């Protein structure tokens, strides 16, 4: 929206979080509160976004990587109106300004578009809501005849009658910039908190005969703020429940929607099944009929159709092909690519390796910096020794190789196509194709040997 400025108020200390981290940097679903608000604001394609931050909160500024933002320091903090005054020189002369809060992370772009549609007609538009318990909130005061909004009275400044009003100010509002430039300098701090209340512009507007619109959030949780860890945890659950419901509606089977955590984006094909206590981080894409067992963690992973991930597997920055079976207890580390029909079993760790179709690494192995061909069988306990303490080296295992159990492959080394390695070997030299290679000493039994006895 060409005409739109967004101001995000984020100067608060967040004392009740009892944390050294500024409040708006606490994370919800793997992303900071402020980033949630910024991402939503960006969906509106605003001309400018201003973030008002507090003294001592440079950490906030440093934590957010975004070239286009205008950062405005507010020091001291004398109220929400005062916060906007600091940003005023940066605002356009025309168009409108949307006020958002760095600690109100779940506001939706749909609700904001609704609010803006009222404001686009040139009116001051408030996002208001009915609250069963309005304590703590500013009350929306309407005139008795026409029911027009005439003021917002802060909780601490209410009289007995005003305390009973159930329509509350969520804080979010859209203000025509011409008016903002005119009204903000008129604010005074003659109230119980000695603060410059942004909400006082409502009475100024009403006195000037301006029409004041009210829009309402699609869901009440959208406007809930975070002031404590208790509220943060509650909002996290709200977010996760909503995400899980969206997945269920798309046809994903979640064994228990209250025990699925999405900290990023989860894209699923048809008939995907996810068992309990799985965490999905970053961007995860699951193809048709993929099954994820209980207690798996997947971060930035793409898994193709028909693959099953068995319980307690940890997979990060990796691609997995069709009809594979991974786990239980597998660890797939960054830079790994598995082709189709691959079996990775328990206590197998794979790092920065590509493994071609039909290969099996079923038990207790470490495969790192390796290229593994098709139909390779890696025996239990096989290790690529890829590191000499300083440098990393590559292991190449070609097609149709069979590696016996408990083998060490000392990189750089190539196991040539079709070779077989005898169990318990330490391989330091490239092998010959189609041959059996082994490096262990011959078994012998010593006659006349006796177990030591106690003296
Ligand atoms: C504010 C509204 C109130 C509304 C409520 C909704 C005002 C005067 N009151 O009250 O009508 O019902 O929100 O939650 O606006 N902030 C700054 N700089 C400041 C003061 C505040 O950046 O100088 C930020 C805070 O970090 C916070 C937000 O603005 O994120 C709201 O400030 P707060 O003091 O908590 O206002 P409330 O008393 O909750
Ligand atoms: Ca508040």
User: DSSP letters of 313-327?
Assistant: -EEEEEEE-TT-EE-
* Alpha carbon distance 241, 261 (integer Å): 9
Stretch 133-156: mean pLDDT: 96
Q: 4-223, what's its fold?
A: Spore Coat Polysaccharide Biosynthesis Protein SpsA; Chain A (3.90.550)
Nearest CA to ligand 1 atom 19: 79
Token digits of residue 378 = 């890696």
Task: Give the DSSP letter string of 288-306.
Answer: TT-EE-TT-EEEEEEE-TT
> What's the chain's average pLDDT?
96
Least confident of 52-61, 92-101, 312-321, 348-357: 52-61
14: CA distance to ligand 2 center in Å?
Answer: 10
100 three-class SS: strand
Instruction: Report whether residue 200 contacts ligand 1, using a CB cutoff of 6 Å.
Output: no
- Residue 358, phi then psi, degrees to nearest 5: 75, 5
How far is CA 166 from each of CA 130, 134, 136, 163, rounded to the nearest angstrom? 5, 6, 11, 8
The angle at the Cα of 315, spanning 309 to 316, to the nearest 5 degrees, equals: 150
Does residue 82 have an active-site annotation? no
Distance of CA 225 from the midpoint of ligand 2 (Å): 7
Task: Please tell me the least confidently modeled range out of 30-34, 52-56, 140-144, 320-324.
Answer: 52-56
**Secondary structure element (H or E) that encloses residue 351, with its range:** strand 348-351
Q: Does 22 contact ligand 1 (Cβ within 6 A)?
A: no
Which backbone phi and psi does 323 adopt, to 5 degrees?
50, 40
Domain ranges of the chain: 4-223, 229-437
* 172-191: pLDDT as tens digits: 999 999 999 999 999 999 99
Give which of 401, 355, 354, 361 is closest to 378, Cα–Cα.
361
Ligand 1 contacts CB of residue 52 (under 6 A): yes
Index of the ligand 1 atom closest to the CA of residue 197: 8
93-123 burial, b if ≥16 CB within 10 A, otherwise e? eebbbbbbbbbbbbbbeebbebbbebbbeeb
**Mean predicted confidence (pLDDT) in 332-361:** 98
300: phi > 0 → left, psi -120 to 50 → alpha, else beta; which? left
Q: Is 172 in the pocket of ligand 1 (CB under 6 A)?
A: no
Q: Ligand 1 pocket check: which of 52, 171, 184, 232 to mutate, most ligand atoms within 8 Å of Cβ? A: 171
- Is the model's pLDDT at 450 over the cut of 80? yes
CB of 77 closer than 6 A to ligand 1? Answer: yes
Q: Which ligand is nearest to the CA of 14?
A: 1
pLDDT at 2: 65
Quick check: CB of 154 below 6 Å from ligand 1? yes
Distance 441 CA to ligand 2 centre (A): 75
199 lines ligand 1 (CB under 6 A): yes
For the CA of 168, the closest atom of ligand 1 is 12
The alpha carbon of 155 and the centre of ligand 1 are apart by a number of angstroms equal to: 12
- Over residues 2-61, the pLDDT tens digits come to 689 999 999 987 899 999 999 999 999 999 999 999 999 999 999 999 999 997 778 899
Cα of 156 to ligand 1 centre, how many Å? 13
Beta strands in 166-306 (DSSP E): 167-176, 212-215, 253-254, 260-268, 273-274, 278-286, 291-292, 297-303
Is residue 299 over pLDDT 70? yes
Which residues lie closer than 8 Å to 15 by C-beta, 6 or more apart? Answer: none
Specify whether the CB–CB gap between 373 and 347 falls below 8 A: no
* pLDDT tens per residue across span 238-282: 999 999 999 999 999 999 999 999 999 999 999 999 999 999 999
pTM: 0.94
Rg (CA), the chain: 31
Atom of ligand 1 nearest to the CA of 14: 26
CATH of the domain spanning 229-437, picked from 3.30.1360.80, 2.160.10.10, 1.10.3720.10, 1.10.10.60: 2.160.10.10
Q: Is 12 in the pocket of ligand 1 (CB under 6 A)?
A: yes
Q: Is the CB of 79 under 6 A from ligand 1?
A: yes
Which whole number is the average pLDDT over 136-160?
96
Q: State in Å: Cα 265 to ligand 2 middle.
A: 29
Give the number of the ligand closest to the Cα of residue 224.
1
Q: How far is the CA of 414 from the centre of ligand 2 (A)?
A: 64
Q: Whose CA is nearest to atom 26 of ligand 1?
A: 12
The reply to whether 229-437 shares the fold of 4-223 is: no
Instruction: Report which ligand 1 atom has the smallest distance to the Cα of 154.
Output: 11
């Amino acid at each position: 929206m060409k005409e739109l400025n967004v101001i995000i108020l984020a100067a608060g200390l967040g004392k009740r979080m009892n944390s050294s981290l500024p409040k708006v940097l606490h994370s919800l679903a793997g992303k900071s509160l402020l980033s949630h608000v910024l991402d939503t604001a960006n969906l509106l394609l605003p001309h400018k976004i201003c973030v008002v931050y507090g003294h001592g909160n440079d950490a906030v500024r440093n934590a957010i990587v975004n070239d286009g933002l205008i950062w405005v320091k507010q020091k001291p903090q004398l109220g929400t109106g005062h916060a906007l005054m600091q940003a005023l020189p940066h605002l356009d002369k025309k168009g409108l300004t949307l006020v958002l809060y760095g600690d109100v992370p779940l506001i939706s772009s749909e609700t904001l578009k609704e609010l803006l549609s009222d404001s686009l007609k040139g009116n001051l538009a408030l996002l208001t809501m009915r609250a069963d318990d309005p304590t703590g909130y500013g009350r929306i005061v309407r005139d008795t005849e026409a029911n027009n909004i005439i003021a917002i009275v802060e909780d601490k400044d209410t009289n007995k009658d005003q305390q009973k009003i159930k329509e509350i100010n969520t804080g979010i509002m859209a203000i025509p910039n011409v008016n903002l430039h005119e009204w903000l300098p008129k604010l005074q701090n003659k109230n119980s908190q000695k603060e410059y209340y942004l909400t006082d512009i409502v009475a100024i507007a009403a006195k000037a005969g301006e029409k004041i619109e009210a829009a309402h959030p699609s869901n009440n949780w959208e406007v809930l703020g975070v002031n404590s860890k208790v509220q943060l945890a509650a909002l996290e659950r709200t977010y996760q429940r909503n995400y899980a419901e969206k997945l269920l509606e798309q046809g994903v089977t979640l064994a228990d929607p209250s025990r699925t955590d999405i900290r990023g984006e989860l894209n699923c094909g048809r008939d995907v099944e996810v068992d309990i206590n799985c965490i999905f981080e970053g961007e995860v894409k699951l193809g048709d009929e993929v099954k994820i067992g209980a207690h798996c963690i997947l971060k930035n992973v793409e898994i193709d159709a028909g693959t099953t991930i068995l319980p307690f597997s940890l997979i990060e920055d990796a691609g997995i092909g069709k009809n594979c079976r991974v786990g239980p207890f597998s660890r797939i580390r960054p830079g790994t690519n598995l082709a189709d029909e691959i079996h990775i079993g328990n206590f197998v760790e794979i790092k920065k390796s590509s493994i071609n179709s039909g290969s099996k690494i079923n038990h207790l192995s470490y495969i790192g910096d390796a290229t593994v061909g098709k139909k390779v069988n890696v025996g239990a306990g096989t290790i690529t020794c890829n590191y000499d303490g300083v440098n990393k080296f590559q292991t190449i295992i070609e097609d149709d190789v069979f590696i016996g159990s408990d083998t060490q492959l000392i990189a750089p080394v190539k196991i040539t196509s079709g070779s077989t390695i005898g169990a318990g070997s330490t391989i330091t030299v490239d092998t010959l194709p189609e041959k059996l290679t082994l490096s262990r000493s011959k078994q012998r039994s010593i006659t006349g040997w006796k177990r030591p006895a106690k003296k």
